[in-house]
Structure 1
Amino acid sequence: MSSPIRSIVYTALFSALFIVMSAIKLPLGFSPVPITLQNLALMLAGAFLGARYGFLSILFVCILTTLGLPLLGGQGGLAVVFGPTGGFIWMFPLCALVVGYFTRKVFASPAIGRSKQLRLAVLFVVFMVFGSLLSYVGGVPWLAHAANLSIGKAMTVGMFPFLPGDLIKSVVAAIVTSALYAYMPSLHSTRSVAPAAQANHKAR
C-alpha cells in the first residue's frame, strides 16, 4: 500500500474510532455535557497518526457532523456543533494536533526513551494536558455562553466532574501508546521516529 493511500486509510480508521467512542456516552442529569470516550479516541489518533493526520481524522468527523450526519453520539447538524457542547467539539481537532506533535517529541527523545517509567509519565502529562485539559479552554466558555451560565458554574457542571475520568483515559492512552507505538511504524509519517521507538523498546 503506497504511503498516501495508507495515510488516508489510517486517517479514516481513526475517524471511525472517534465516531464509535462518541457513541459510548453516559448522560449526567446535572450537566448538558455527557461522559464519553471522545477524548480517548483523539488522544490515540494524535499519538499514532501524528499532528497532521491526527488533526485531519478528527476534523473530518466534525465537518461531516456540521453538515448534518449523526456522527457524534448519534447526533449531527448545526444544533450540535453550536449547542452547549460545541466548544468541546471545536477543540477536539486542535487537541489531536497538539497531542500528535508532542507524542512525536517524546518518542524522538533519547533521554526520555531510556526509561519506560519516564516515558509513561511524560506521555500521561501530554495526554492529560493537551488531550483533555486543552479541550476545556474552548469548551467551558462556550458552555457558559450557550447555557447562560457563569464561568464558575460552567466549570462546575462541565469540567470538574469529568477530571477523574480524564485522568483514567490519559493513563490508558499512555499505556497503549507506549506499548504499541514501536510495533506500528507504518502509522508514522516521520521516518526517524519509528526506528528510535523500536530501539528504545529493545533497550528495555
Structure 2
Amino acid sequence: MAVTLTTPNTLLGAFQPKGEAAKLVINMVTVVLGSLLIALAAKVNVPVWPVPVTMQSFAIAGLAAAFGACIGVATVALYLIEGAMGLPVFATGGGLAYLVGPTSGFLLGFLVMAWMIGTATDRGASARPLTLFGAMIAAEAVLLALGFAWLVMMAGHAQWVDQTNVVVSAFAGAIQPFLIWDVLKMALAALTVTGLWAVLPSRR
C-alpha cells in the first residue's frame, strides 16, 4: 500500500524518496524532529500569566505548511503526548495537570491549526504567499478562539479573571496582548515556506 502521508505540494513531499519503506521512515523521523522543534519554540517565551508569549504558533504554522496536514497533525499530536507524559516540552513544564491548565485551549487548538494550514498546503498554497498567509491567519483566529473559550470556561476558578466581567477580562489578559505578534509570526512563517518553495522549481 502506498504511503501517502504528504503530497508533492509540500516541501517534505518534494524531497520524498521513491521507496515506500524509505518514505515511511522519513515521515516518522520528521514527526519526531518536528515535535522537538515545537518544544524548543515553546522555550522561547516571555513568561506572562496566564498564557506565556511563545514561538510555538510560528513553529507549528511553518511545520504544517512544510509537511502538510497528516504529518503536521501527527507532529503536534506527538508533541502533546510528550507533554502529557510529563516531559518538560511545554513553555513552563509538562504533565497532565499542565495540559488541562489555562493554556489547554491553545495546546489542543494547535491540532486544528496544523490541520487547517496543512490542508491549505496540500492544495497548493506553498506557491501562493497570500493564500498561505490567509490560511495561517484563519488558523490563528481559530486557535485564539479556542484558547479564549477555554479561559472563559475555567474563569470561575481563576483568580486573575475579574469575575464581574469575565469575557472582557479574559480577552484583555490572555488574547489581546498577542494579536499583533501572532499576525507577524504568521507572516514570517508564510514568507519562510513560500520562499523556500520558490527556490525549488526543479523539485515540483
For 1:176 and 1:166, locate their aligned partners in 2 and report how far apart those are by CA, in whole Å: 15
Question: Measured at CA, do residues 135 and 166 of structure 1 come closer, stay the same or move farther in structure 2, by a change above 3 Å?
Answer: same
CA-to-aligned-CA distance 1:73-121 (integer Å, 9 cap, x gap)? 241112211111111111111211111001222448xxxx5xxxxx222
Per-residue deviation, 1:151? 2.4
User: Counterpart amino acid of 1:8?
Assistant: M
1:163 aligns with 2:179: yes
1:125-204 matched pairs, under 5 angstroms? 125-130=134-139, 132-148=140-156, 149=161, 150-181=166-197, 198=204
For 1:128 and 1:146, locate their aligned partners in 2 and report how far apart those are by CA, in whole Å: 26
- Matching residue within 53, 58, 62 for 2:71: 53
Q: What percent of counterpart residues are identical? A: 28
Which residue of the partner structure matches residue 14 of structure 2? none
Query: Gaps spanning 5+ residues in structure 1: where?
Result: 114-118, 186-193, 199-204
Which residue of the partner structure matches residue 90 of structure 1? 108
TM-score, with structure 2 as normaliser: 0.79
For 2:119 and 2:199, locate their aligned partners in 1 and report how far apart those are by CA, in whole Å: 19
1:9 aligns with 2:29: yes
Equivalent pair of 1:106/1:122 in contact (CA under 8 Å): no
User: Counterpart amino acid of 2:71?
Assistant: Y
1:72-91 matched pairs, under 5 angstroms? 72-91=90-109
Instruction: Report the structure, 1 or 2, having the larger helix content.
Output: 1
User: Counterpart amino acid of 2:192?
Assistant: V
1:100 aligns with 2:118: yes
For 2:114 and 2:26, locate their aligned partners in 1 and report how far apart those are by CA, in whole Å: 19
For 2:75 and 2:200, locate their aligned partners in 1 and report how far apart those are by CA, in whole Å: 18
Equivalent pair of 1:22/1:36 in contact (CA under 8 Å): yes
Which residue of the partner structure matches residue 201 of structure 1? none
Equivalent pair of 1:11/1:49 in contact (CA under 8 Å): no
User: Counterpart amino acid of 2:121?
Assistant: T
For 1:140 and 1:154, locate their aligned partners in 2 and report how far apart those are by CA, in whole Å: 7
Per-residue deviation, 1:17? 0.9
Query: Gaps spanning 5+ residues in structure 2: where?
Result: 1-16
Which residue of the partner structure matches residue 122 of structure 1? 131
1:20-39 matched pairs, under 5 angstroms? 20-28=40-48, 31-39=49-57
Per-residue deviation, 1:134? 1.3
User: Counterpart amino acid of 1:125?
Assistant: G
Partner of 1:32, secondary structure, is: coil
Question: Measured at CA, do residues 21 and 83 of structure 1 come closer, stay the same or move farther in structure 2, by a change above 3 Å?
Answer: same
Q: Indicate the RMSD between aligned Cα atoms, in angstroms.
A: 2.0
CA-to-aligned-CA distance 1:137-192 (integer Å, 9 cap, x gap)? 2211111222434223211111111010011101101110111135679xxxxxxx
CA-to-aligned-CA distance 1:34-61 (integer Å, 9 cap, x gap)? 1100101110111011101100101111
Question: Measured at CA, do residues 58 and 183 of structure 1 come closer, stay the same or move farther in structure 2, by a change above 3 Å?
Answer: farther
Say how many residue pairs are matched.
Answer: 176
